[in-house]
Amino acid sequence: MGEPKKKRIWKSLTKQELEQMLADTPTVFKGSSNLFRNLRHRGIIGYTEYLFLLCILTKPHAGFKIAFNMFDADGNKMVDKREFLVLEEIFRKKKDGKEADDGAPRSDKLNMDENMTDTTLLVHFFGKKGKAELGFDDFYRFMDNLQTEVLEIEFLSYSKGLPIISEEDFAHILLRFTNVDDIAGYLDNVRKSITDEKGITFDEFRSFFQFMNNLEDFAIAMQMYNFANRSIGQG
């Protein structure tokens, strides 16, 4: 946050450029943990989709099913484009300070403009014609891939092409999420306390942050053990 932000230059897309972007969007069946890195600047997302993607980054795997069921308004175990757009309508109303007439909007009340602009995410989920449906397995894989992709970007920025990062680099990543002032002092303590550096692999890095996403559930489990007056072993 202490570094100056790079100036962003507005870019206008022609209708043909946008159509080509969407035509090149892979289907959800071809999703991978390189999806957004492969797309780079050849894709567009809406503001509410941006909020949705940010939410995914900190959601535990156990919450993926809950999120899917929220979209699946009719309970048929599949999510279609209209159901997914309900999320955008909810976000839009809250952003505009408006409330639905009878609570949250329903998919059968949502006004879908035939001329509305599709986004990369909509095409990825529901196809170029918007007729495909999204099953839970594909939804789960997309969310897991997104979490993995962002963690890979973070990891690779420190690994410099190696399969591991140092313990000091890992500590530096963690300290970025704190409010401590003396970061240099903490890093110095890490250097002094680790006499034999082994490094941290990406699998270990990913497992740690998956644990952090489940921290609330872990805290509840610890309280249960405490109430039962039971000790906790390594197993």
Query: Above 50 in pLDDT, residue 100?
Result: no
229 HSE (CA, 13 A, CB side):
0
**Secondary structure of 133-178 in the HEC alphabet?**
CEEHHHHHHHHHHHHHHHHHHHHHHHHCCCCEECHHHHHHHHHCCC
pTM of the full structure: 0.78
Q: Residue 78 pairs with which residues in a beta bridge?
A: 135
pLDDT in tens, 157-186: 999 889 999 999 999 888 877 888 888 888
Taking Cα atoms as reference points, which of 100, 122, 118 lies closest to residue 53? 122
CB crowding 26-49: b at 16 or more within 10 Å, else e? eebeebebebbeebeeebbebebb
Q: What single letter denotes the amino acid at residue 94?
A: K
Query: Above 70 in pLDDT, residue 201?
Result: yes
Assigned token pair, 129: 């014609």
Collapsing DSSP states into helix, strand and coil, what is residue 64? Answer: helix
Q: Residues with Cβ < 8 Å from 4, sequence gap 6 or more?
A: none
pLDDT in tens, 26-36: 999 988 999 99
Assigned token pair, 28: 């959800």
Separation between Cα atoms, residue 83 and residue 108, nearest integer Å: 9
- 16-146: CATH topology is Recoverin; domain 1 (1.10.238)
* Ranges for all domains in the chain classified under CATH 1.10.238: 16-146
Contact between residue 143 and residue 121 where contact means Cβ atoms under 8 Å apart: no
Separation between Cα atoms, residue 166 and residue 217, nearest integer Å: 29
pLDDT in tens, 129-140: 999 999 999 999
